[in-house]
Amino acid sequence: MSASAIFVLDLKGKVLICRNYKGDVDMAEIDHFMPLLMQHEEEGLLCPVLSHGSVHFMWIKHSNLYLVATTNKNANASLVYSFLYKLVEVFTEYFKELEEESIQDNFVVVYELLDELMDFGFPQTTDSKILQEYITQEGTKLEVAKSKVPTTVTNAVSWRSEGIKYKKNEVFIDVIESINVLVNANGSVMSSDIVGSIKLKTMLSGMPELRLGLNDRVLFALTGRDKGKTVVMEDVKFHQCVRLSRFESDRTISFIPPDGESELMSYRINTHVKPLIWIESVIEKFSHSRVEIMVKAKGQFKKQSVANNVEVRVPVPSDADSPKFKTSTGNAKYVPEKNLVVWTIKSFPGGKEFLMRAHFGLPSVEKDELEGKPPITVKFEIPYFTVSGIQVRYMKIIEKSGYQALPWVRYITQSGDYQLRTNV
């Protein structure tokens, strides 16, 4: 059904730690993994699934590690990859950084976690907050008090423990929208969408019942209310705490939140958005002599708003040299290891227009290999503003002890995958 064994390898393919779950695949098969991977890479046919005889390797890479699952069955591939990413998440929460060193430094806990996270190839409890209640790094502390299974593990509410206490009951809500844009070289927007995310930082006592109200058009249509701006969410994904069938029937977002930080939901909006920062570029390449770059950036959002930490990244040929810049505002910097000019503007008010010129020399001898045409990318953040106009209308918090709790809401819009193709 899923993985037969899980391996953590270093960059050379040496096994750092592994766990055999089912015993139906020879553990020595992993030796074929690295040669296979190299072979595929050379042929330009890199693929997340590799197979050697009847053994299939499903792998992901994280910092200087490969996480590999083996199987000889028709495994559920999406489950395996989800699980591998979950491993990364859990290990990262345990060790801060997941890398070769942290695996070695914590091998005892890693073994314990591998034992708890999956059984016979079936993923089990993978919520790191809950795991931390009974698998801790300091083994000595474990002894009696903690060596009980938290009932949470098998509870229907498997993501929140009982008996949490806060002096001040608060919940912080972050609404973050990322704009993905793909613009053609001739300036037409090929695709654009908004990926929104609502994150919670919950500091609430007990087992609170929460209900989140958004200006969701479908909900308003259902209830017959129709005032103010509403938003059509194309696809909504929820944290497992949200009652999906309830949402399906009456669009109510009701849940018992996990403690601390979590992503409550994400959504996608397909409406055509005007790219918030519009880039016009002229890149002229005079072979054997120079490259001239002119970039104009325009803030296409409300005058009252300000975009912070704007970075316009313009690709330059890898053999360019002797950069010269001129900017109407902000700072331009050449980052040779990435073949980029990074133009940084700390504060970019809406409606404004800025200009950057760059000049590079090119060697007279042309290099052989062709270079790709990387796009211009843009990074920015606009606080107190969402492009879609989504709003948190209420957050109701009910706990049986009856305490009053305060919800705080923050909005931010930022760049997601923001690419503008160039002509050169």
Partner 1 sequence: MTDSKYFTTTKKGEIFELKAELNSDKKEKKKEAVKKVIASMTVGKDVSALFPDVVNCMQTDNLELKKLVYLYLMNYAKSQPDMAIMAVNTFVKDCEDPNPLIRALAVRTMGCIRVDKITEYLCEPLRKCLKDEDPYVRKTAAVCVAKLHDINAQLVEDQGFLDTLKDLISDSNPMVVANAVAALSEIAESHPNSNLLDLNPQTINKLLTALNECTEWGQIFILDCLANYTPRDDRESQSICERVTPRLSHANSAVVLSAVKVLMKFMEMLPKDLDYYGTLLKKLAPPLVTLLSAEPELQYVALRNINLIVQRRPEILKHEMKVFFVKYNDPIYVKLEKLDIMIRLASQANIAQVLAELKEYATEVDVDFVRKAVRAIGRCAIKVEQSAERCVSTLLDLIQTKVNYVVQEAIVVIKDIFRKYPNKYESVIATLCENLDSLDEPEARAAMIWIVGEYAERIDNADELLESFLEGFHDESTQVQLQLLTAIVKLFLKKPTETQELVQQVLSLATQDSDNPDLRDRGYIYWRLLSTDPVAAKEVVLAEKPLISEETDLIEPTLLEELICHIGTLASVYHKPPSAFVEGSRGVQHKRLPGSAGSGESVDSPDTVSAAGVSEAPPAVIPSQGDLLGDLLNLDLTPPTTSGPPPVPSSGMQMGAMDLLGGGLDSLMGDESEPPPIPLRTDTPQSPQLSHQSPSPPDYSPTELGGDLGGSPAMGAAFGAPPAVMPASFSAPVSGGLDDLFDLGGGVGMPMGAYSPPKTIWLPAMKAKGLEISGTFARRAGVIQMEMTLTNKAMSVMTDFAIQFNRNSFGLAPAGPLQVLTPLSPNQTIEVALPLSTVGPVMKMEPLSNLQVAVKNNIDVFYFSCQYPISMLFVEDGKMERQVFLATWKDIPNDNEAQFQIKDCHLNSDAASNKLQGSNVFTIAKRTVEGQDMLYQSMKLTNGIWVLAELRVQAGNPNYTISLKCRAPEVSQCVFQSYEAILKN
Question: Which 140-159 residues touch partner 1, going by CB under 8 A?
Answer: 142-143, 147-149, 153-154, 156, 158
Minimum Å gap between C-beta 227 and partner 1 is 26
Beta-bridge mates of residue 406: 170
Closer by beta carbon to partner 1, 10 or else 353 = 10
Encoding tokens for residue 231?
């938003």
If you write DSSP's letter for every residue of 166-188 in order, what string do you get? -SS-EEEEEEEEEEEEEE-TTS-
Closer by beta carbon to partner 1, 128 or else 205 = 128
Minimum Å gap between C-beta 172 and partner 1 is 20
Binding residue (CB under 8 A) for partner 1 from 11, 39, 63, 101 = 101
Binding residue (CB under 8 A) for partner 1 from 323, 330, 361, 374 = 374
Total residues interacting with partner 1, rule: CB under 8 A: 93
Long-range CB contacts (within 8 A, 24+) of 13-16: 13/37, 13/66, 16/65, 16/100, 16/103, 16/104
CA separation for the pair 8, 123 (Å, rounded) = 17
| Amino acid in the structure at residue 169 | N
Task: Reduce the secondary structure of 38-75 to three states and give it as a string.
Answer: HHHHHCCCCCCEEEECCEEEEEEEECCEEEEEEECCCC
Contacts of 69 (CB under 8 A, 6+ apart): 2, 3, 4, 5, 6, 7, 57, 58, 59, 75, 80, 83, 84
Closer by beta carbon to partner 1, 133 or else 353 = 133
The window from 54-62, 161-169, 287-295, 337-345 that contacts partner 1 (CB under 8 A) reads 54-62
Encoding tokens for residue 88?
């990364």
Quick check: 106 binds partner 1 (CB under 8 A)? yes
- Asked if 222 and 250 touch (Cβ cutoff 8 Å), the reply is yes
Q: Which of 294, 293, 297, 295 is nearest to 275 (CA)?
A: 297
| Amino acid in the structure at residue 36 | L
Quick check: 23 binds partner 1 (CB under 8 A)? yes
User: Which residues, 239 to 258, sit near partner 1 by CB under 8 A?
Assistant: 239-240, 243-245, 247-248
The window from 163-171, 221-229, 338-346, 366-374 that contacts partner 1 (CB under 8 A) reads 366-374
Strand, coil or helix: 363: coil
Quick check: 274 binds partner 1 (CB under 8 A)? no
User: Which residues, 154 to 213, sit near partner 1 by CB under 8 A?
Assistant: 154, 156, 158, 182, 184-185, 190-191, 195
Minimum Å gap between C-beta 78 and partner 1 is 4
Quick check: 63 binds partner 1 (CB under 8 A)? no
Binding residue (CB under 8 A) for partner 1 from 168, 223, 234, 346 = 234
| Amino acid in the structure at residue 180 | N
User: Which residues, 123 to 142, sit near partner 1 by CB under 8 A?
Assistant: 123-126, 134, 139, 142
Closer by beta carbon to partner 1, 162 or else 371 = 371
Minimum Å gap between C-beta 181 and partner 1 is 11
User: Which residues, 287 to 346, sit near partner 1 by CB under 8 A?
Assistant: none
Encoding tokens for residue 22?
């089912």
User: Which residues, 26 to 45, sit near partner 1 by CB under 8 A?
Assistant: 44-45
